[in-house]
Homo-oligomer: A and B are copies of this chain.
Amino acid sequence: MTTPKEPPGHGEDDCAFRSFLDRVADKWSMLIVVTLEQTPKQRMRFSALMRAVPGISQRMLTTTLRHLERDGLLTRHFYPEIPPRVEYELTALGKDLKSPMGQLVRWIRFNWKAIKKARGSFDRKKPGRDGRV
C-alpha cells in the first residue's frame, strides 16, 4: 500500500487501516490463525503447521508467519537445539482475532456449496462474460 495516493477526505489512519485489512483478509493468514486456534497445545512447530495447512509452500508459510509476528498476532519461540525447534503461538491479540476470523472461515465452510451453485447458474446465464472457473 505505502500510501499510494491518499484519497481526499481520508487521512493516513484510513490508509493504515487498509494495510491491515490487506494483511488480515488474507487466505494464508486466516488458515494459519484458525489452525493455531484449534490446536490443543496452543503451540505448533513449523513443520506441523506445514502439514496442517495443506497446499501452503514453505516460502508462503515463512512469509505469512513473519507478517503475523510483525503484526503482533503471534510469537515465535526458537529453541536452538539440534535439530532446531521453532514453535508458534498466538498472542493475546491473535487469540482475540481468532474469533471473528474463525467465524468467517466457518461461514465459508458452511456456505460454499451455495456459492458453488450460484456460480454455476451465473456461468450458465452469461457464458462469455466471466467464464473463468
Contact = CB atoms under 8 A, between A and B. Distances in A.
A119 B21 contact: no
Given A21-B31, A25-B30, A70-B123, 20 more contacts: A2-B133, A3-B133, A7-B54, A9-B54, A16-B112, A16-B116, A17-B108, A18-B55, A20-B116, A21-B108, A22-B27, A24-B104, A25-B25, A67-B130, A70-B130, A72-B117, A73-B118, A93-B115, A97-B107, A100-B106
Nearest to A119: B70
Contacts of A21: 27, 30-31, 105, 108
Interface in A39-98: 54-55, 66-67, 69-73, 93, 96-97
Q: How many copies does the complex hold?
A: 2
A2 B86 CA distance: 33
Contacts of A31: 21
Nearest to A15: B55
A21 B84 CA distance: 33
